[in-house]
Amino acid sequence: MKRLNFTFIIIMACVLAYIGTQVSNEYYIGVATLLLIHAVNATALNILLGYTGIISIGQAAFFGLGAYVAAVLSTNYGVNPLLTMPIAAAAAFAVAYLVGSPILKLHGNYLAMATLGMGMILYIFMNEMDFITGGPSGFVGIGDIIIGKFDLADEKSFFVFMSIFFMVFLFICELFDKSFLHNKLKFIKNSESACRSYGITPAKTKVMVFASMAALTAFNGAIFTFYTHFISPVSFSFKYSVELLAMATIGGLGYITGGVVGAVLLGLVPELFSAFEEYEMIIYGGLLAVVIMFLPGGISGTLKRLVKRNA
Amino acid sequence: MLDINNIGVSFGGVHALSNVTFAMPQTGISALIGPNGAGKTTLFNVITGFVTPKEGSVKFDGKEITGFKSEQVFMGGISRTFQNLNIIPELTLRENMYLGFIGKERPSAFATMTRLNRKYWKETSQRIEECMNFVNVTEYADMTPGSVPYGVLKNFELGRAVMSKPRLLLLDEPAAGLNLAEKENLADMVRKIQSMGVCILMVEHDMQFISSLADFVVCLNFGQVIAAGTYAEVRENKEVLRAYLGDEDA
C-alpha cells in the first residue's frame, strides 16, 4: 500500500486558505472558484483518458446535464439545491452507463467521434428543449445554496464551499491514485487482452469508470449552476470539452496533479489574455503543441521526472 | 489435464486449425511446435478463450471450457503469457505485478481506498516480494521496464503469471529474443514452476530449449497435428522433418 502524497494536498489547502482569508477582491475570488470547477472536470477527464485510455470529447455535455438537472429541479420543483447535486450525478451516471455500454467497445479515433456525437446530441437537446432548458436564451432565476443559516450568495462563502468540496475530491483522488485501482485502470489502458487473460473484465470496468466520471462532472455542473445562477448551452459546448482535454493533456495525463495544474494554467488564459479574446483557441493550441512536442507527460510528468532525476 | 478434441478454426477462407486433437499429460511440461503459421498461437487463443472454435471442444481437468471467456478460463486455473511483453512502461515492476492477482482476488476498492484492509495488502506485498525473489527480479523491483534488461522482463512475466497460482500455465515463445545464458536461466525457472505442481504448455521454436524441458511434444503444420509424443519420437517423425526441412525432391 503506497503512502499518500500529502505535499500536493497541503500546498493546495494552503493556497485555498490564503485566497479565502487574505484576498478580498471579489473578482479574483470568483476566478479562483471557476478554476476549482475546471480543475474537478479536468481531473475527471484525466482519470478517463490518462488512467483508463478512454478519450471523451463529450464531457461538457455531462457538465451541462448536471447543471440543467439541478437548475430545473431547484427552480421549477423547489427541490433543495444540495439534494439536486446527487440527483444530477445519478442522472448523468444512468445516461453515461446506457451510452457507454455500446460506445466503449470502440477505441481510439472511433471512440473520440462517438463521444463527440454524444456531446453534440446532448447539446442539441439543451438548445431545442426550450420548454425545459430555456433554449439558447438560457435558464434564469436559479437560487442560492442554503446550508442551515448560511446562504452562499456572495463570492467568498461560495468559494469556501467549493474549496471544501475540492479538497475532499482531491483527497479521494489521492486515495484512488495510491490504490490498486490506479494500476488496474492503467493495465486496461495498456492492453485489454492481457487484462482479460488475468481475470479483469475491461468492458465492465470501463463503463463503470465512464459513468462514475460523468456523475462526478454532473455533480460539479450542479455546483456551477448555483454559482452562476444562469446557465445557457454555450457553456457546455464542444469548445469546453476541447478545453478540458487541453487542460488534462497540458497538466499531465495519468497524474492527479495534472488536471489541477492544467485547469489553473489554461483557466487563467482568458483572464491574462483578455485583450486577445478572439485568439484564445490559438493560445490553447499553441500550448498543447508545445507540451506534446517538448514535455511528454505534461507539466506534472516533466516535473516528476526532474525530481526523480535529481533525487 | 487438457483435452483438445477435433478443434477447427477458420478466418474467412483460411483454415487456421482443422481437426486438432491431442491430450496433454496430467503433469509435466508439454510443448507445441511447428513452422511459422502452423496455428500454434491460434490454438493458445482457443484454449484461453480469445478465439471461439467453429467446431470441437476443449476440456480442462475433464470440464468443458470451449467458448468460455478469457476471464472465466483464467478463473478456472489457466494462466498465459504473450509473445509480446505486456508490461506497463510507466509503472515499476512491483506495481506491474498487481496484474497477476487483482483479477483473481478482486480486493475491495472501497476497503483499499479507505485503507481498511491493511492486513490483506501487507500479506500481498509479502507475496509479491516472494514472487519477485522467486524469478530473480527483486533488484529491479522499483525500476520501470524501460530500464530493465529484456531477459529480466521475461522472467518477470513468468513470475506474474505464477502469482495467480494457476494449475496450467501457457507460455507463448518464452525463449524468443533471449541469449544462451538467459535461456538457461529461464529453463531453470520453468523447471522450478513445474516442480510446484504447475502443468506447463509452451509454444517454442528453440528445439534445444524444448529438448531440455518438454516431456511431451505436439507438432502442428498447416493447422493440423502431424506428430505427438516424446521429443525423441517427434524429432524422428518424417512428417515433422518434411514440415521443417521440406521434401528431399524439392
Q: What residue numbers bound the domain in which A14 lies?
A: 6-237
Q: Element (H or E) spanning A136, and its range?
A: none
Whether residue B147 is found in the same domain as residue B226: no
Which range, of A177-181, A199-203, A258-262, A277-281, averages the lowest pLDDT? Answer: A277-281
Whether residue B64 is found in the same domain as residue B174: yes
Q: Which three cell numbers stand for residue A116?
A: 463527440
B221/A275: higher pLDDT? B221
Q: What residue numbers bound the domain in which B135 lies?
A: 87-165
d(CA A219, CA A40): 10
d(CA B18, CA A252): 50
For residue A205, what pLDDT is reported?
A: 94
Which range, of A115-129, A231-245, B226-240, averages the lowest pLDDT? Answer: B226-240
pLDDT tens digits along B24-59: 988 889 999 998 888 999 999 999 999 999 999 999
For residue B250, what pLDDT is reported?
A: 47
In a domain, A311, yes or no: no
For residue B248, what pLDDT is reported?
A: 62
In a domain, B217, yes or no: yes
Q: Which of B121, B104, B107, B124 has the alpha carbon at shortest distance from B164?
A: B104
In a domain, A129, yes or no: yes
For residue B249, what pLDDT is reported?
A: 56
d(CA A44, CA A216): 7
Whether residue B217 is found in the same domain as residue B153: no
Contact A82, A139 (CB under 8 A): no
Whether residue B171 is found in the same domain as residue B248: yes
The answer to whether B232 contacts chain A (CB < 8 Å) is no
Whether residue B3 is found in the same domain as residue B61: yes
Whether residue B101 is found in the same domain as residue B113: yes
pLDDT tens digits along B83-100: 888 899 889 999 999 998
Which of A264-273, B52-61, B234-243 is modeled with the greatest confidence? B52-61
Q: Which three cell numbers stand for residue A114?
A: 462517438
Q: What is the CATH number of the domain that holds B245?
A: 3.40.50.300
For residue B70, what pLDDT is reported?
A: 92
List of chain A residues whose C-beta atoms are within 8 Å of the C-beta of residue B86: 190-191, 193-194
Whether residue B64 is found in the same domain as residue B124: no
List of chain A residues whose C-beta atoms are within 8 Å of the C-beta of residue B69: 196
List of chain B residues whose C-beta atoms are within 8 Å of the C-beta of residue A258: none
Whether residue B176 is found in the same domain as residue B250: yes
Q: Choose one of B119, B138, B165: the last residue of a domain.
A: B165
For residue A84, what pLDDT is reported?
A: 97
Mean pLDDT calculated for residue range B184-189: 90
% of chain A exceeding 90 in pLDDT: 79
pLDDT tens digits along A113-161: 999 999 999 999 999 999 999 999 999 999 999 998 888 889 999 999 9
For residue B86, what pLDDT is reported?
A: 86
d(CA A48, CA A64): 18
In a domain, B227, yes or no: yes
Q: Which of B135, B221, B222, B210 has the alpha carbon at shortest distance from B173?
A: B210
Of the pLDDT bands very low, low, confident and very high (cuts 50, 70, 90), residue B77 is very high
The answer to whether B82 contacts chain A (CB < 8 Å) is yes
Contact B217, B30 (CB under 8 A): yes
Q: Choose one of B122, B142, B165: the last residue of a domain.
A: B165
Whether residue B129 is found in the same domain as residue B71: no
**A198 and B113 in contact by Cβ < 8 A?**
no
CA distance A188 to chain B (A): 10
- What is the reported pTM? 0.89
Whether residue B131 is found in the same domain as residue B201: no
- Our CA angle for B180, B183, B186, nearest 5°, is 155
Mean pLDDT calculated for residue range A45-60: 95
Residue A61, pLDDT > 90, answer: yes
**A197 and B74 in contact by Cβ < 8 A?**
yes
Residue A284, pLDDT > 70, answer: yes
For residue A31, what pLDDT is reported?
A: 95
In a domain, A286, yes or no: no
Question: Which value does ipTM take for this structure?
Answer: 0.86
The answer to whether B88 contacts chain A (CB < 8 Å) is yes
* B89-112 residues labelled b (16+ CB within 10 A) or e (exposed): ebbebbbbbbbbbbbbeebeeeeb
Judging by DSSP bridges, how do beta strands B2-11 and B55-60 pair with one another? antiparallel
Q: Spell out the residues 6+ positions from residue A105 whose beta carbon is closer than 8 angstroms to its own.
A: A203
Of the pLDDT bands very low, low, confident and very high (cuts 50, 70, 90), residue A254 is very high
In a domain, B170, yes or no: yes
Query: What average pLDDT is seen over chain B?
Result: 90
In a domain, A144, yes or no: yes
In a domain, A274, yes or no: no
In a domain, A291, yes or no: no
Whether residue B132 is found in the same domain as residue B173: no
In a domain, B82, yes or no: no
Q: Choose one of B139, B165, B191: the last residue of a domain.
A: B165
Query: What average pLDDT is seen over chain A?
Result: 92
Range A6-10, long-range pairs (CB < 8 A, 24+ positions): A8/A170, A8/A174, A8/A256, A8/A257, A9/A167, A9/A170, A9/A171, A9/A174
Of the pLDDT bands very low, low, confident and very high (cuts 50, 70, 90), residue A95 is very high
Domain count, chain A: 1
Which range, of A47-56, A276-285, A298-307, B159-168, averages the lowest pLDDT? Answer: A276-285
Residue A1, pLDDT > 80, answer: no
Whether residue B43 is found in the same domain as residue B95: no
Largest CA distance in chain B: 72
The answer to whether B230 contacts chain A (CB < 8 Å) is no
Domain count, chain B: 2
In a domain, A15, yes or no: yes
A310/A264: higher pLDDT? A264
